[in-house]
Amino acid sequence: MPLDALVFDAYGTLFDVHAVIDRCEKFWPGKGAQLSQLWRAKQLEYSWLRTLMSHYQPFSAVTREALGYACEALGLALEAKRAKALMDEYLNLAPYPDVPDALDKLKGGGRKLAILTNGSPDMIETLVKNRGLQSSFDAVLSVDGLKVFKPAPRVYQLAVDTLRVPAANIGFVSSNCWDALGAKAFGFNVYWINRGGAPVDRLGFQPDGMLQGLGDLPERIAR
């Protein structure tokens, strides 16, 4: 079926979450990469646990709590000024180098483009604006109104309802395998950006396509 809409995950897909490493490294030399990895792992873990516990908090709060845990686990003193500086990094994450050109190529022809993210509006809307990508998208959709995180099916339904496009005609793009397979289970056509060459998670589903970066997508869907 033709793809009438393309829906993108934000963090790790369009924007590099590990762009925070430089700031982490300035604060704690030799610990930047380790802190970034643990921070991201706990950020995701807390989103899943909060969904299972039915105790939602906005992604900004989840991200702040994950940062606090990661610093404590690594024995790093997190002063208020440093915490704010690191949280501010999420408002200015660099897009991956191939993202702007790929979005330009994918836009047009009546196809809708949207972001569907766990990020709370205070984070994602500021980030998209700061990176000058507002005109690339018809919608920036956050889970915040649903009070539940991906990969809950209700999140993917939000894209269907907002864009008014059937799931079978939506292409979903994520670099997070768990997210890609959650979208596939829901009924989207799924493209997994697998930059690290990881195996597919054993969740009973397979992505429809695998990409090395977003720059591969325009040619793939043109076939």
Q: Which residues participate in catalysis according to the annotation?
A: 9
The residue to which tokens 């790929």 are assigned: 102
8-state DSSP, 106: H
**Read out DSSP for 9-35?**
--BTTTB-GGGGHHHHHHHSTT-HHHH
State the CB neighbour count (10 A cutoff) for residue 72.
11
Tally the residues of the chain. 223
**Which are the contacts of 29, defined by CB distance < 8 A and separation ≥ 6?**
none
Specify whether the CB–CB gap between 168 and 187 falls below 8 A: yes
Cα distance between residue 39 and residue 32, in whole Å: 10
